[in-house]
Amino acid sequence: MWGIGKMALEIIRIPVLSDNYVWMAHEPVSGETMVVDPAVADAVLAEADSRGWTITQIWNTHWHPDHTGGNADIKAATGCTITGPAGEAERIPTLDRTVSEGDTVALGGLTAHVLDVPAHTAGHIAFHLPEAATAFTGDTLFAMGCGRLFEGDAAQMYAAMRKFEAMPDETAVYCAHEYTLSNGRYAVVAEPDNAALAARMVEVEAARAAGEATVPTSIGLEKATNPFLRAISVEQLAERRAAKDSFKG
Ligand code: ZN
Ligand code: FE
């Protein structure tokens, strides 16, 4: 960065299934349009059509069907290129390019850096676009939460949290689910003395009552309120994850 500020990237939220968000990012200089984790095809294609955009890329964070289910039909309709985790290539047969930490993916003039953040799934990746102050975190970092440990362990999730923590506070975090209210109800139990968390929950309760989305969030907000990003050890993260798994809020 040379003081030119955030580069333009228009990001659209497409709510699908019960609580998934598909993110559509349009880079206006090149005209490229990318979708992250398309659970379905029709709603995504319709959204692009309504804006006069053509989808040129899909980025997948992990193999789960609610993140890849639209891949084949969107590709058939647009001829887009699909990029996803090298560690899950055999589980995502629609991939054109496989990537892992250290790789970059171009979106027009913007560069996304790939991070390996396994834990929810064995090969889960995230995409960080520092020039746009944007991160796509899939099912690893959520607003006030983290993904369930289906294929990995707490040590891996703790390591993943350190990678998110290292991003600038102003980084916008685009996660793949609207889990904020449920996450927050557990978070206030985990950290009952956290004033920033209590204040955030007031806002989240109001937003959800009004039917509004609560994401994107930001790295700074998560550093202040997310009990998994804030866990001080692998053991504490493991305890909190187990407690959340059985939490009835
Ligand atoms: Zn998932
Ligand atoms: Fe998911």
Is the pLDDT score of 2 beyond 80? no
How many percent of the chain have pLDDT more than 70? 97
Residues contacting residue 100 through CB under 8 Å, at least 6 positions apart:
85, 86, 87, 114, 116, 123, 125
Distance 240 CA to ligand 1 centre (A): 19
Looking at residue 146, what is its pLDDT? 98
| Model confidence, pTM | 0.97
Residue ranges of the domains in the chain?
2-139+149-183
Distance 183 CA to ligand 2 centre (A): 15
Please say if 26 is a catalytic residue.
no
Q: CB of 144 within 8 A of CB of 184?
A: yes
Catalytic residue among 26, 37, 67, 116: 67
Please say if 120 is a catalytic residue.
yes
Q: CB of 35 within 8 A of CB of 22?
A: yes
Catalytic residue among 62, 116, 124, 128: 62
CA atoms within 13 A on the CB side of 187: 31
Looking at residue 187, what is its pLDDT? 98
Please say if 139 is a catalytic residue.
yes
Looking at residue 121, what is its pLDDT? 98
Please say if 67 is a catalytic residue.
yes
Average pLDDT, the chain: 96
In the block, residue with structure tokens 């289910």: 69
Distance 106 CA to ligand 2 centre (A): 24
CA-based nearest residue to 94, from 117, 65, 123: 65
- The β-bridge partners of 113 are 104, 128
Distance 140 CA to ligand 2 centre (A): 9
Looking at residue 8, what is its pLDDT? 85
Question: Can you say whether the dihedral through the CA atoms of 249, 214, 143, 42 is positive or negative?
Answer: positive
Give the number of the ligand closest to the Cα of residue 175. Answer: 2
**pLDDT, tens digit, 9 for 90 and up, residues 94-142:** 999 999 999 999 999 999 999 999 999 999 999 999 999 999 999 999 9
Distance 149 CA to ligand 1 centre (A): 10
Topology, domain 2-139+149-183: Metallo-beta-lactamase; Chain A (3.60.15)
Is the pLDDT score of 4 beyond 60? no
CA-based nearest residue to 82, from 65, 105, 103, 102: 105
Looking at residue 249, what is its pLDDT? 75
Encoded tokens for 143: 């607003």
Please say if 128 is a catalytic residue.
no
Using DSSP, state whether 109 is helix, strand or coil. Answer: coil
Looking at residue 3, what is its pLDDT? 38
**pLDDT, tens digit, 9 for 90 and up, residues 209-234:** 999 999 999 999 999 999 999 999 99
